Amino acid sequence: MKNDRKSYSGEWKAKVALEAIKGQRTINEIASDYKVHPTQIMNWKKQALEQLPEMFSDKRQGKVQSDEELKSKLYEQIGKLQVELDWVKKKAGLIS
């Protein structure tokens, strides 16, 4: 069975969604021009409007948190490696 589903780039979806957001033409007119179902255009418009606030939010807070998590994981790994190194040195007779 052949899959007739079309795949659209993010840039193309954004263009169609932006046109729908502008409201200068009806959704049906836009759908007819772009040969996309009106419901799909409404979904893209809704998705774009929901994600707009995130684009302008303060992303520094999330970056600081992820940096702290990374540091924590790295310090934990360093600790484990130090314990392993000490064990190897002891087994090799380098540490009394």
DSSP letter string, 48-71: HHHHHHHHTS-THHHHHHHHHHHH
What pLDDT score does 81 carry?
94
The 10s digit of each residue's pLDDT in 48-63 is 999 888 777 766 666 6
Is residue 50 within 8 Å of residue 78, measured between CB atoms?
no
Give the pLDDT of residue 59: 66
For 26-37, write each residue's pLDDT tens digit.
999 999 999 999
pLDDT at 92: 87
DSSP 7: -
Nearest by Cα to 75 from 65, 83, 63? 83
Block means of pLDDT (10 residues each) for the chain, 96 residues, are: 74 94 95 95 94 76 77 93 91 75
Q: What angle do CA 86, 90, 93 make, to 5 degrees?
A: 140
Per-residue pLDDT at 2: 56
Q: Which residues contact 26 (CB under 8 A, 6 or more apart)?
A: none
In this predicted structure, what is the pLDDT of residue 62?
Answer: 65
